[in-house]
Structure 1
Amino acid sequence: MTITTEELLAARTAWGNGLIQISKTFEDEGIDAARAIATDVLNAAYGYGMGPVLFKPTLSGGAQTFRTDQAGALSYFVGHSDEYPQDSGFGIKGWREVRSETAAEFIEGDVGMWMGWIDCVNKDGSTTRVDKSFGYKKDDAGVLRIVLHHSSLPYQV
C-alpha cells in the first residue's frame, strides 16, 4: 500500500475541487447545503475515522488555533458556528480554481507528506496563496486520508 506521487497529486486535486464545490454550493443553495457538502468533503478527504487529524487552518488563532476534530474543521470551512465565532468560512469565499506547487514531498510506505503552495482563485480573479503542508496515511481500505493539514499565509519580508 505504498503511496505514490500521483496519489498525492490526486488527493490535493480532490481537496481543491471540494473547496470549489463548497463555495459554489454556498452561493447557489445557502449555508445548510454548503455545510452538507463540506461534511461530505471532510469525510472523503480527511482521516477522522482513524483518530485525531492535526489541522492548523490558515486563519485561526488563540485557543482555537488547532482543530483536531471534524466539528472544528467544518466550522473553519463554512463558518456560521457558535462554538467558533471567529470563523468566517474559508470554504465559502467564492473559490473557482485551486492550484498547487510542490516544494517537497516525502513518502515512506503508507505515509506521505507534501508541502508547497496552494493558490486559491476566487470568482473575481483574486488569488490567495497559502503555505501548506499535508500529511497523508492510507486507511485500512487503502484510501489516502489527510491526517495533518497545516496552513499559513506566506511570511512577509
Structure 2
Amino acid sequence: MITKEQVLEVQKKWGDGVVKIGSLKENRKACEHFTKDFIDERYAYLNGPVVFKPTKCALEQFRSEKEEAVSYFIAGEDRKCDEDKGFALQPWKKVRFENSGIILEEKRAIAMGNYYFTDIEGNEAKVEFTFGYKLDNGELKIDVHHSSFPYVLNTIS
C-alpha cells in the first residue's frame, strides 16, 4: 500500500527539482541534462502513457511525450512546442504543496490541491494541481499531471 508519506516525499522531490532547474538556467547544457533526468525520475514516460496538462499552455495543451514535457520546463531553441517559455527557468526559490486530499491504493495514489511557487523576490503564485502517481519498481512516478490557475470570477454579466 502506498503511504501518505511517500506521496509527500515525491511532491517535495518534484518541487526541489523545479527549483534546481531554475538555478541551472545560466548553464544550458547542465540545465538540459538535469531536466531530462528530472523528467525520467519524476514522470512515467519511460514505462507507459503520461497525461500532462501544464498550467501555462493554450495552443498545445497536453504533453504526452517526454520531449514535450522538457520543452515546457525549459523551452530553448529546440523546444517541441512553440508557445513554451521555460516555466521552470523563472527561477523559483521554493515550491510548497497544500494537498486538499490524497487517495491511496496499493499501486496508485492521486493527490489534489494547490501548490505555491515562490520567486526570488518572494512573490508567490498559487496554482491548482492534480497528480496521479503509479508505483514503478518501488518508486512513485507521475502519470497524470494537471495544473491550472485558480478560476477568477468574472463580475461582468
Pairwise same-fold verdict (TM > 0.5): yes
Deviation at 1:82, TM superposition (A): 4.4
Aligned to 1:71: 67
CA drift of 1:83 comes to: 2.9
- Aligned mates of 1:61, 1:108 — CA distance in 2: 33
In 2, distance between residues paired with 1:150 and 1:25? Answer: 25
Does the CA contact (< 8 Å) of 2:75 and 2:85 recur in 1?
yes
From the two aligned structures, give the one with the greater helix fraction: 1
**What is the TM-score of this pair, normalised by structure 2?**
0.93
Q: Compared with structure 1, are the counterparts of its residues 92 and 82 closer, same or farther at alpha carbon in structure 2 (3 Å cutoff)?
A: closer
Report SS of the residue matched to 2:68. helix
User: Which AA in structure 2 matches 1:38?
Assistant: T
- CA drift of 1:65 comes to 0.4
Aligned-residue RMSD, C-alpha: 1.0
Aligned pairs (5 A) from 1:1-157: 2-27=1-26, 29=27, 31-62=28-59, 64-80=60-76, 81-139=78-136, 141-157=137-153
Residue 108 of structure 2 aligns with an amino acid whose one-letter code is V
How many residues matched? 152
Q: CA–CA distance in 2 between the matches of 1:54 and 1:109?
A: 21
| One-letter code aligned to 1:69 | E
| Aligned structure 1 segments of 4 or more residues deviating by more than 3 angstroms | none
Q: TM-score under structure 1 normalisation?
A: 0.93
Instruction: Name the % identity.
Output: 34
Change in Cα spacing, 1:82 to 1:98, as seen in structure 2 (3 Å) is closer
Q: Secondary structure of the equivalent of 2:143?
A: strand
**Counterpart code for 1:56:** K
Could you tell me how far 1:32 is from its partner in structure 2?
2.5
**Letter in structure 1 aligned against 2:69:** A
Deviation of the 1:36 alpha carbon: 1.1
Q: CA deviation at 1:10?
A: 0.3
